[in-house]
Structures are given as C-alpha cells and as structure tokens.
Structure 1
Amino acid sequence: MELLWVGAAFLAGLITSRLYLPPLVGYLMAGYVLNVAGVEANDTLKHLADIGIELLLFTVGLKLKPSSLLRREVLSVGSLHLLIVTLVSALVFFGFNGHVTGGLVIGVSLAFSSTVLAIKVLEDSGELSTLYGRDVLSILILQDIVAIGLLAVANNKQPSPWALCLLLLPFLRPLAYRLLSASRDDELKLLLGVALALAGGVLAQKVGISSDIGALLMGVMLAGHVDINDLSNKLWGLKETFLAAFFLQIGLADLPGYDEIVQVLELLSLLPLQGILFFALFLLVGLRARTAFVSSLALMTYSEFALITSNTVVEANLLPPTWESTIGLAVALSLAIAAPLNRFSHRLFSLLETKLVRFERKIEHLDRLPSSIGSAEWLVVGMGRTGMSAYLAFNQQETRVLGLDADPTVLENLLAEGRRVIYGDAEDSALWGKLPLEKVKGIILTMPEFEVRSSSIKQLKNLQFAGSIGTICFHSHEEDELYRLGATFIIHPFIEAGKQLTEQMLRSTHKTVFNH
C-alpha cells in the first residue's frame, strides 16, 4: 500500500510540475484518483500526515520571533477578519437545518487559511522571511491559537490547566542549545530535530492542545541558535516527504455526491470575498497595495483545520455526516486553486497594479520603499552569505556601498553591527523606479531565485540604468538568458569556488617548492 501511495504521489507531482504547478496539487489529485480506484486511507497514512505537519510547524518555529505576533497589522487584520467572518457566519448559519452550534463552528472555521499551503508556498519561493511573509505567518499562528478554543467549543473539551506550562518551553533553551551544539554529525542533528518536533506534539496532546502548536513552540525554543539554518535545511527534504501524505489524505477522503458538490462550488465562490476582505484590511492598517495583494492571495484558502472541525462536529451529531466530504473537497479545491495563484502572485499584481494602487491610503506606509540611498555608489541586493561577502569586499576597498534586503531580521542584525543597509524587496516592481540610481556605478544581485534576478535586470535596463550589473548563476542555461537581458558580469559560485581552491593549492605548493 505504501508503494502505491508514494508512486501515485510521485507520478502526479511530476505531471503537475511539468505544467508549472506546485507538486502538492498533484498529490491532491493523486488522492482523488486513488479514491475513485477504491483505495482507502488508513491509520498509517494519517500518522505520516500528522508527522509531516508537525515537522512543518517545527521548522517554522525555528525562524519565528514571538514579537512578530504583536505587530499592529497582525493583531488588527487577523482579529478584524475573524470577527467579521464570525458575525457573517452567525447570520448565515443561524438555525442551519436546526444545527445552530455545528453550523456556526463550521462557518467560523472556514475563516481560517491553510497554514500548510501558505507556509509551503512562501518557503518554496524564499519569501517566508520577507515583511509580508512574516505577517502572513503571524496571522496564521493567531488563527491557530483561536482554533484551539473553537475545537473546545465543538467537542466540549477544555484544554488542561497544565497547557500553560507549554509557555515555559523557551526557558529550556539553554539545554536545547547544548544538545544541538553537541550534535556535530549531520545525522544526529536531523534526529534531534525530529525528536524535538515529535516531543512538542506529544506534550501538547497530553495537555489537550493541538500537536501542531506544541511542535511550533518547540521550534521557537531553538530559534536563534547559530546552526539553526543548517538544521532547517536538513529537515527540509524529510518534511516534504511526509507532507505528501497529508495532501494524499485529503484526496482519499469520502467523495461527495451531487448536492454536496453544489455546496462545494458555493463555498469556493466565497473565496474571492475572503481575499477582498483581507486586501481591504491590509490597506486599512497602512500596507501598500502590492504587499496587501500578495498577502491576501497567500491567505485566500480554506484551512486544513476545517477538516478537523467538520469531523468533530459530525461526531458530536451537530451536523449531518455529508459535511465531512463537502468540507474535504472544498479545502482540497481551494488549495489546488490557490497554489498556482500564489506562484504567480507578483506577475498578477503587475497586471493589476494600476487599478489596485488607487486604493492605497495616502499615508507613510509600513512597508515603504526606500527613496534615498545617500551617497552610495554601489548597491548589493540580497544580504545573504554571497551578498555579505560582496559588501565586505567593497568596504575593504573603502568604496561607498549600500546593502538592500527584504528580511527585517537580517536588516536588524546588520544595522546592529554598524552596516549600511536598508529595506528593499527586489520582487517589488516599484523598487527600481523609486531608487535614485543616477550616481550608482554598479549593482550586484545575489538573490537565489532566477526569476527575481532576471526580472531585476530587465527592469534596470528598461530604466536605462547605465552602470554595471553583476549577478550569480547556478545553472549553465541561465547564463545566456541573464547576459541577453543585460547583465554585465556573471559568476557561477560553485565553479568559482573550485577555481579559487585550485589556485590556492597551486600557490601553496609553489611556495613550498620554492622554499626548499
């Protein structure tokens, strides 16, 4: 059976990836195909899916700063959205087939967005650490916290008073840090990460809390360690494999009948309204149209949490059993629709930009674009390891260099070190037109995504930027395209590393022979 699951997921994922859709859409479709073929889900698949979600939330916790939950736009947008949808749901579902409580619980749960999809899409695109990525993540966590209370209402089960002890997990950070530092071998780091994620899930379940929250808090406990990126990278492939079981499980749920399909289509027709509501609220708190748009698309889904609540309310006889399959298909189709939309969210905004920017408030925006670069003559965009090396090299030559990055945490750390850096998201089509580039001699682009680098070069050339443009390239077929767009100089980091190593070795050997 396991071979059938894995094989079907792989083939369907391969087909959808060839169609420029995320593999997770293929996993969903594979589940439905297997369902039609008579294959049923069992406890093993559910257990694997639960592990996948716990690993996902654990890796998110590794990058989470608790202070981000207290941001004004997070509390206001997240709270207002839940309040508005709850009021509307109360009106729509009040007295729904005589199931007042069940209808209200389902209605409110449909206000939640898919944590799995949003985080996966943001992570795959490298935008999880951007300003809007952090806001989306924080709103999702806020929704998960509310979901705990909603589940308690649905099954009349209150979390244990001991649940508050989970908040003490951060005080175990010194011990966790020592364990990670002592785990020098790669396999030990991987095992430690999996063990902590599962331990967080078990602890949370023991006190009546969702295991996902426990895994998240365990990740937060480790956040800030110097090896955290290494641990996160090692968990990535394992997490992706287990998550395939989660999407297969959705497809393997019971298929709805004709009446239920009509209800599914009605639910899907409400998704644009949810996106519009998020967009309006983000604009209301002072975000620009672009940030509001891409954030709203990331949140415009039905949550896998609705699957849990539908199962709970059906078991409690608060709604007819048919609602399980209805909600299951609605969630699955919302994920299938949202995945490609999020993949091309920046392109979609470019098409709609002239219409959407009209709704921006005439205030100083929270995600404002830089309008000044001081006396900088060189710009380094993307302050990761490559970008930081370029920045330091410019500094050694005593040139006037400025770094740009879209990660608030990276900027905060670099500013604390006395570096000259400002906020700047290269995926924002308005960035290059806003920057005064007349005196800039050259720009280095170190962003890992090829589409972002190529788009930036194209925009700079359209603005008739006369300076040099240097960038990186990981695949040979990308080089010709980057040069065609107007790049002045391109390096392959791995090839250059090999050349440098050879030169150093030969130079060292030559010196040794000469000294003898």
Structure 2
Amino acid sequence: MEPAYFIYAFAGGLLAMILRLPPLAGFLAAGFLLNYSGYELTPTLNAIANLGVTLLLFTIGLKLNIRTLLQSEVWGVASLHITLSSLLFVLIIGLLKFGGIVLMQSTDWTAILILAFALSFSSTVFAVKLLEERSETQSFYGRVAIGILIMQDIFAVVFLSATTGSLPSVWALGLFLLIPAAPFLRKILDRLGHGEMQVLFGFVLALVLGYKLFEMVGLKGDLGALIMGILLAPHKTSASLARSLFNIKELFLVGFFLSIGLTALPSWEHVALALFLLVLLPLKTVLFVLMFPRFKLRVRTSVLTSMTLTNYSEFGLIVAALAMTQGWLSSDWLVILSLSVAMSFVVAAILNNYNERLYQLSRGRLDEVPAADLHPHDKPIELNGAQAVILGMGKIGRGTYQRLQDKYNLNVLGIDNDQNKVERLSEHYQIVEGDAVDSDFWDKLLVSDQVQLVVLAMPHHAGNVYALEQLRGRDFKGRVAAIVEYPDEVERLKALGADEVFEVYEGAGLSLADRAMQEVY
C-alpha cells in the first residue's frame, strides 16, 4: 500500500486533534484529499476497512447484554423511527423532483424510497467509536444507542435478503447449533491466557465462525461477527479479549474512514445534493428526541442518545450499491450518498463534542418525565448517607472502596455506568448505576453535606476531568482524589483543584513494595 495513505491519515488525524475534533474526522478528510490527489480505493485498503468493521461488531457483541434488545425503548424506538423517518424523507426528497434539478427529474419514486430508507439508518461504526472514546458504551444512553443500531442491522439483513430475491440457505438453520457450542468455545478461551493465542482465537471467531460462516449460508457476515461476540459475552474474560483486540481494531478502522472519502469523486451537483441531504439530518434527531420520553427516558438520556445517532450510515452505501446493480438507482447517487455520509460524520463529531451543552440548551424546552414514572435506569441516585463516593468501580475503585471501609470505617458508595458490573458487585458492595459525565447526576449526588471524599477512579481521563470540573463548579467542600494513567495528565487535574492525583502504575508499585515487605518487618 502507498506510503501516502499513512501520511495523509496521520496528518488528518493530527490536525483534527489540534482542532479538538475526534481523529476520525481527520481520517475522513484525508480520504477525500487522497481522492482529489489521484489515489484510488485499493483492494488492500478495502480489505483492511472490512476487517475493522467486522472486528468492531465482534467487540460490540463481547460487551452486549442480549436483554438490551428486548427493552421497549430499543426495539420500539428503532421500529418507529425507521418507519417515520423513511416516510418523512420520501416526502421531502420527492419535492425535489419538481425543483428543476436534472438528476432528480430522472429519479423515479422507487429510487426515492430506497434513498429515504438508506438515510434512516445511523452508523454503527461511527456511533460506537464515539462512545468508546468517551468510555460510555456501557452507560445507559450508550446501551440504548447500541441496541437501536443493532436493531437497524437486523432490519438491514431483512432488506438485503428481500431485495436480492434470495433467501438465506436452508443450511442457515444449522447456525442455531452455535448456541449449544458456545460453552465449548468459552472453555477454549479459558485455556488460552492473555497473549497472542487469545487474540488469534478472537480473529478465528470473528472472521471464520462469524463472518465467513454466515456469509456462506446467505446471511450478512458482519451480523455473524456480532453474534459470535454475543455468545462469548457472558464469559469472564470477554472484556479482556475485547481489550486485546482494541488497538488492532482501531488501526483497521482508519482504513474504513479513509475508504469513505476514496469511494468516488463528486461533481458540484453531487456536492449540492449531498448538502441538501445533510440538511435533513436534524430531522432524524428531532424524531429520536420526541420518541424517547414516550418510553420513560429523561430529557438528558433522550438528547445524548439522539446526538449519538445523528449521522448517516455506511449501510446507505451498501443499499445504494445493491440498488445500482438492480437498475433501481443511478451511479450518481452512490457518489452523493458517499459524500453525505462523510459530511454527516464530520458534523456529528463536532456536535457530539458539545452534547452536554446542547442538552443544557434543551432543558426547559422539553417536558421532563416525572421522577416516579422514569425508566428504572434513569431514576435519581440515592446516597444512603454515604461519606465517601467512588466513581468507577474497576479494580482500583474496588480496592479503594475496601480500604476506606475497612481501615477508616467510612460509609462508602460505589458508582459505575456499567450495568453488568453493578449487578455483579451489588452482592458485596454498596453500588449504584450512574453516569459521571451526566450534569444532572452531580445535582443529584451532592445533595448531602455528609460526603467528605470523592475518588475519581474512572478509566477515561476525560471523564475524570469532567467530573472534577463539576465538583469544583458546584463548590464541593470535601476532598477529591483521582487516578491517571500517564504522567502528563497529572497537572491538568491538579490545576482543576484535585487534592491528590496518583499515577496508576506508580501506585501499584507502592502497594507491591508494601506487601512484599510485610513479612520482613
């Protein structure tokens, strides 16, 4: 592969970081610049992009609780939204037929219906990437967003089967045997440790038993990777496997974002129509925001979930390509959709940087669901007289909890945004589900003067920074301690007023030395 692909991608990602945008916005821009510079989408880059998407869906499955899909706020909103948004887009795009645009005059109503359906989907790749960057894939709003995206993937499989005129092979029924085979696969995972064999096994599951096997029986390969991840999700090392694949997946996804820009070279008419489709994007957001409160979600959850889903999907390109082979859509629309998808990613990246501010602007303008009627995961947090609060109940958080409770006799409350972790630890810890980057969360949390200490033990540095800003902005009088992974993060937290900041690995070394010398002295 040409060195230019790496140079453009790095330069684009670096520029995006300087502008305080997610690097993926820079990768998208790099793809278009490569295109204008005469480079093309190569088979190698396309293979890397497909690998990135497949591994992403596999790792989503590893973290997914299947019960999420059975929640009414997931399947209900997904079904209603895709229906209403498709109808709305048909009406609006249909009006262009009478606007004198040459390309629209040659586009029939079948093509318009397909375009509207394609635009109703949101991007799984983009949305999950945003959630991962904020460590919020397991937050309540993150789980709802991912659930809706997976429901859309299921709708995609139905659409692809129906429009190609070919149903899955009868051998697809044999895939149900993967369910009783799952315990055997988990036992294999038990014996592999945490090295290269674990990573290699993940590739075998995602690409062979997942993607290739499903593709062979006429189903969408990416769906197979997702299902394989779901089957392994209950295993105790599933989180470790997801972490092992994280950097590989991230690198391959750079290829995906580059490939969007390299898909086709647009004309000015294409750009104008792509901009028009981009103007329709807020309609998707509005529909989501209006629907979620009907399912007992509070305004913040509704707004943040809607913002995460405010983009067009790469699935739109698949729909366009399929419709083009069937003769329902001209090749021009593939170019236009490629451009609008890329533009929507850039716009969504910027908007999601300010999602909390956008929520604050919407407060008072949207009717809040009464607290008594809220979804169980959206109800206010009860402090129960806590004197110390631990934000982030990973290994460090749990160790801190135990120390404060056993040595200092404090009434400690643990808070984590991972529902599965909360359920698993609730037997031994006083722990509740909560999202520390939720501004409402802080209003609910600091209602008691009994809280003497807050420990910021979340894995994501940006989350700890936000939490500290909220604490100091609300004039919290107690002490604040925080952890960091890298030395250059210490000064930022101290400047914001943290009383104590500990480097994770330095703290681990001190603890190891103390324990090692216990028997000596």
Do the two structures share a fold, i.e. TM-score over 0.5? yes
Aligned residues: CA RMSD: 2.1
Cross-structure match for 1:196:
205
Please identify, of 139-148 and 382-391, the stretch whose mean Cα deviation from structure 2 is larger: 382-391
Q: In 1, distance between residues paired with 2:487 and 2:156? A: 47
Does residue 306 in structure 1 map to residue 316 in structure 2?
yes
| 8 Å CA contact retained: 2:299, 2:363 | no
| 8 Å CA contact retained: 1:264, 1:330 | yes
Instruction: Write the mapping of 1:326-475 to structure 2, written as runs, cut at 5 A.
Output: 326-350=336-360, 352-356=361-365, 358-362=366-370, 364-366=373-375, 367-397=377-407, 398-415=409-426, 417-435=427-445, 436-475=447-486
Superposition deviation, residue 439 in structure 1: 1.6
Please identify, of 17-26 and 90-99, the stretch whose mean Cα deviation from structure 2 is larger: 90-99
Does residue 4 in structure 1 map to residue 8 in structure 2?
no
| AA in 1 matched with 2:230 | V
Superposition deviation, residue 395 in structure 1: 3.1
Instruction: Write the mapping of 1:216-365 to structure 2, written as runs, cut at 5 A.
Output: 216-350=226-360, 352-356=361-365, 358-362=366-370, 364-365=373-374
Q: In 1, distance between residues paired with 2:502 and 2:90? A: 59
Superposition deviation, residue 452 in structure 1: 2.6
Cross-structure match for 1:494:
505
| 8 Å CA contact retained: 1:470, 1:490 | yes
Please identify, of 108-117 and 485-494, the stretch whose mean Cα deviation from structure 2 is larger: 485-494
Superposition deviation, residue 108 in structure 1: 0.7
214 and 371 in structure 1: CA distance in 2 versus 1, 3 angstrom threshold: closer
Give CA deviations for 1:31-61 in whole Å, capped at 9, x if unaligned. Answer: 1111112111132222221111111100111
Q: In 2, distance between residues paired with 1:198 and 1:84? A: 35
Cross-structure match for 1:99:
108
Q: In structure 1, the residue corresponding to 2:311 is in which secondary structure?
A: coil
Does residue 174 in structure 1 map to residue 183 in structure 2?
yes
Q: In structure 2, the residue corresponding to 1:425 is in which secondary structure?
A: coil
Q: In structure 1, the residue corresponding to 2:121 is in which secondary structure?
A: coil
Q: In 1, distance between residues paired with 2:182 and 2:441? A: 39
| 8 Å CA contact retained: 1:370, 1:424 | no
Does residue 115 in structure 1 map to residue 124 in structure 2?
yes
Q: In 2, distance between residues paired with 1:26 and 1:212? A: 25
**Structure 2: gaps spanning 5 or more residues:** 98-103
| AA in 1 matched with 2:396 | T
| AA in 1 matched with 2:178 | L
Cross-structure match for 2:141:
132
Give CA deviations for 1:189-224 in whole Å, capped at 9, x if unaligned. Answer: 111111111011001111211111000011111112
Q: In 2, distance between residues paired with 1:163 and 1:185? A: 33
Q: In structure 2, the residue corresponding to 1:30 is in which secondary structure?
A: helix
Q: In structure 2, the residue corresponding to 1:287 is in which secondary structure?
A: coil
| 8 Å CA contact retained: 2:381, 2:432 | no
Q: In structure 2, the residue corresponding to 1:40 is in which secondary structure?
A: coil
2:166 to 152, 157, 168: 157
| AA in 2 matched with 1:461 | R
Give CA deviations for 1:245-282 in whole Å, capped at 9, x if unaligned. Answer: 11111111111222222211110000011111111111
Superposition deviation, residue 288 in structure 1: 1.3
Give CA deviations for 1:470-514 in whole Å, capped at 9, x if unaligned. Answer: 221333443343334332322222112223333444555x45xxx
| 8 Å CA contact retained: 1:93, 1:104 | no
Does residue 213 in structure 1 map to residue 223 in structure 2?
yes
Q: In 2, distance between residues paired with 1:48 and 1:273? A: 33
195 and 2 in structure 1: CA distance in 2 versus 1, 3 angstrom threshold: farther
Q: In structure 2, the residue corresponding to 1:403 is in which secondary structure?
A: strand
Q: In structure 2, the residue corresponding to 1:178 is in which secondary structure?
A: helix
Q: In 2, distance between residues paired with 1:21 and 1:219? A: 30
Cross-structure match for 1:78:
78
| 8 Å CA contact retained: 1:113, 1:302 | yes
Instruction: Write the mapping of 1:49-60 to structure 2, written as runs, cut at 5 A.
Output: 49-60=49-60
| 8 Å CA contact retained: 1:381, 1:446 | yes
Q: In 2, distance between residues paired with 1:203 and 1:293? A: 38
Q: In 1, distance between residues paired with 2:62 and 2:194? A: 19
| 8 Å CA contact retained: 1:382, 1:405 | yes
| AA in 1 matched with 2:124 | T
| 8 Å CA contact retained: 1:93, 1:100 | no
Q: In structure 2, the residue corresponding to 1:430 is in which secondary structure?
A: helix
Q: In 2, distance between residues paired with 1:316 and 1:93? A: 21
Please identify, of 337-346 and 235-244, the stretch whose mean Cα deviation from structure 2 is larger: 337-346
Q: In 1, distance between residues paired with 2:168 and 2:115? A: 20
| 8 Å CA contact retained: 1:370, 1:422 | no
Superposition deviation, residue 69 in structure 1: 0.1
| AA in 1 matched with 2:189 | L
| 8 Å CA contact retained: 1:370, 1:423 | no
Give % identity: 36
| 8 Å CA contact retained: 1:136, 1:295 | yes
| 8 Å CA contact retained: 1:169, 1:217 | no
Please identify, of 232-241 and 166-175, the stretch whose mean Cα deviation from structure 2 is larger: 166-175
**Structure 1: gaps spanning 5 or more residues:** 512-516
Give CA deviations for 1:294-328 in whole Å, capped at 9, x if unaligned. Answer: 11111011100000110111111101111110111
Cross-structure match for 1:32:
32
Superposition deviation, residue 343 in structure 1: 3.1
| 8 Å CA contact retained: 2:86, 2:119 | no
| 8 Å CA contact retained: 2:40, 2:262 | yes
Q: In structure 1, the residue corresponding to 2:501 is in which secondary structure?
A: strand
| AA in 2 matched with 1:48 | I
Give CA deviations for 1:330-349 in whole Å, capped at 9, x if unaligned. Answer: 11111111122223322433
Please identify, of 276-285 and 96-105, the stretch whose mean Cα deviation from structure 2 is larger: 96-105
Q: In 2, distance between residues paired with 1:184 and 1:418? A: 27
